[in-house]
Amino acid sequence: MFIQSEMVKIDEIHRAVTLGNLRNVQQLIDRKRLAYCRDQMGATPLHKAVIYGQKEIIEYFLDRFPSTIHTRDNSTFLANLALQ
């Protein structure tokens, strides 16, 4: 379970991904579990990067956290299907 300060960080991570700010994403994800953090719809940062076409961030996640590609959001959207 995430504590309140981590919830704020999760929102910041998702915002940075949406805006395509790779540097902020790298700084904010200081623990592996934050690479898997989900928003209200169950989307991980990688899902958001795919949805918003943030190629640098997609490459960062695939290189640094490759298993994130197998995560599903609440609607069973797989990030790896969108990358094909």
**pLDDT (tens digit per residue) in 31-76:** 999 999 999 888 999 999 999 999 999 999 999 999 888 787 766 5
pTM for this model (two decimals): 0.83
Q: 66 lies in which domain range? A: 4-82
| Count of domains forming the chain | 1
pLDDT at 12: 97
How many other CB atoms sit within 10 Å of the CB of residue 44?
A: 24
CATH number of the structural domain spanning residue 38: 1.25.40.20
Q: What does the buried/exposed string (b/e) look like for 16-36 if buried means 16 or more CB atoms within 10 Å of the residue's CB?
A: bbbeebbeebeebbeeeebbe
- Which of 7-11, 26-30, 38-42, 60-64 is predicted with the least confidence, judged by mean pLDDT? 38-42
**Does 84 have pLDDT greater than 60?**
no
Q: What pLDDT score does 71 carry?
A: 80
Reduced to 3 states, what is the DSSP secondary structure of residue 62? Answer: helix
